[in-house]
Amino acid sequence: MTILNRLPSSPEINAYKEAGVVLLPGLVTDDWVTQIRDAVEGDLKNASYSANRLFCDGMMMWKRDAVFEAYCLNQELPEAAAVLMTSDKVNLLYDQYLVKEPGGTAAVGKTKWHHDQPYWPIRGDQIVTLWLALDDIDDSTGRVEFVAGSHKSSDLYQPEGLTESDYQYSKNPDYRPIPDIDACREDYEIQSWDMSPGDILAFHGRTIHGAKGNQNSTRRRRALAIRYVGEDVTYYDGPGSYEGLKSSDLTNGEKYRKQKPLLREDTLADSVDWGC
């Protein structure tokens, strides 16, 4: 069953490269949005909660659910990642659903400003998240905001818990504190979009972003984020990254590679080499 209605266009690819983020409207088919919603609801018993249970997430569902596995590993989504990253090789890093329940405030359930790469045990430039909206999303439900162009900086910021009761990260002396974006928003080009189910936000691993809590009294904000990496990405076994993503099979500086084949060879798109 087809997952994507299309691949990113040339203007969308150029916007991604310039701003570090681009909205891809209507990318995922309605059938797959429905399937993923149902799969998220089925997995919520395994979710990690924080912020007074107004925010929850689940990771690595592709390892335990056939719907998530098919969505992450079918050739269509990795091919979209490949054209955005300009990479001939694509590896799945991990998948993560994020649910913001109604009834919070701007502060309660807030996702703090951050960029993702330091949270992950990797280094490189070809790193993209494909963030799928599963509900109508607007300012009241906590749409994601991005600092346009921030991916072009080589600075890496110290990971910290993104919500009130989150995982705590070890300190890395090479990382800086994240700037106080909210204290001087006028100094930054901040981009955000209302979204409909099936829309995708594609953003670079170093693009700074954050989101308010879900202040809507009735509507949820559900999303599924898939993180892919390309051929220039290497493994980084240093302090600060999430221990659950570290690998005993990779050494520091080694090319990042997947732990199992993504697809059977006879299903592969000619434009993407899955053997990384």
pLDDT tens profile 41-64: 999 988 888 777 889 999 999 999
Q: Which two tokens stand for residue 44?
A: 């919520």
Residue 268 counted as domain residue: no
SS3 147: strand
Residue 5 counted as domain residue: no
List, in order, residues 6 or more apart from 186 with CB less than 8 Å away: none
pLDDT single digits (tens) 191-249: 999 999 999 999 999 999 999 999 999 999 999 999 999 999 999 999 999 888 888 88
Q: In the chain, how many H helices and how many E strands?
A: 4, 13
Cross-strand partners of 227? 94, 129
- The C-alpha angle 4, 6, 11, rounded to 5 degrees, equals 135
Residue 11 counted as domain residue: no
Please tell me what DSSP assigns to residue 183: G
Residue 2 counted as domain residue: no
pLDDT at 118 over 90: yes
Residue 171 counted as domain residue: yes
Residue 57 counted as domain residue: yes
pLDDT single digits (tens) 247-273: 888 899 999 876 443 433 333 333 333
Name the residue with tokens 């302090």.
Answer: 239
Helices in 20-156 by DSSP H: which ranges?
A: 30-43, 66-73, 76-85
In terms of Cβ atoms closer than 10 Å to its own Cβ (0-12, 13-18, 19+), residue 172 is middle
pLDDT at 112 over 80: yes
Average pLDDT over residues 158-169: 75
For residue 148, what is the domain's CATH number?
2.60.120.620
Query: What domain count does the chain have?
Result: 1
Q: How many CB atoms lie within 10 A of CB 18?
A: 13
Give the residue numbers spanning the domain of 223: 20-258
| Distance in angstroms (rounded) separating the CA atoms of residues 33 and 266 | 26
pLDDT at 162: 66
